[in-house]
Amino acid sequence: MGYRVLICDDEPHIALAVSMKFRNANFEVQTARDGFEAWKYIQEQPPHLLISDCTMPRMDGLELCRRVRTLTHLRNLPIFLLTARGLELDPFVVREQFGIAKIILKPFSPRDLLRDVQAALGVSETPAIAIA
C-alpha cells in the first residue's frame, strides 16, 4: 500500500514542486489550494500525512489543523505546517494546541521535506529491491 499525502498550499509553484517530489518517491499525492478544499478531501479520503501552509485564503492552516484534531480517527495524523511566519509562531503552542508534528520554514528544500515525511511515516528513503 502506498502512502497518501495531502499537500495544501495556495502558492501553485510550491504545491507543484512538493507534489512532484513526492510522486517521484512513489507517494499518492492530492493537492488543495486552501484549507477549505483540504478539509473536504480529508473528510472524503483521509491522508496518511498532511502538509499544510499556514497562511491561506478561506481557511488557514491552523484552522484546518484544529478541525482535523476534532476527528477522533485522525487525532494522530502527522501534520507538517509550512510557514513564512516562523518568528510569529510559538512552536510549543502550535504543537500543543494544533498537534503539529513539524514546522517547516519557507523557503525550504522539497528534498528535506520528503526525508522528514519519510521519517515520520517510517518509510525508508530508498525503495526496497526485490531479489528473486
Q: Could you list the pLDDT tens digit for every one of the 132 residues in the chain?
A: 589 999 999 999 999 999 999 999 999 999 999 999 999 999 999 999 999 999 999 999 999 999 999 999 999 999 999 998 765 777 778 888 888 999 999 999 999 999 999 999 998 765 544 444
Residue 41's pLDDT is: 97
Residue 87's pLDDT is: 58
Residue 125's pLDDT is: 65
Residue 127's pLDDT is: 52
- 102-123 in b/e form (b: 16+ CB < 10 A) is bbbeeebeeeebbebbbeeeeb
Q: Phi and psi at residue 38, in whole multiples of 5°? A: -60, -40
In Å, how far from its chain's centre is CA 123?
15
Residue 79's pLDDT is: 97
* CATH class, range 4-121: alpha beta
| Of 82, 85, 71, the residue nearest 104 (C-alpha) | 82
Nearest-angstrom CA–CA distance, 127 and 124: 7
User: Domain ranges in the chain?
Assistant: 4-121
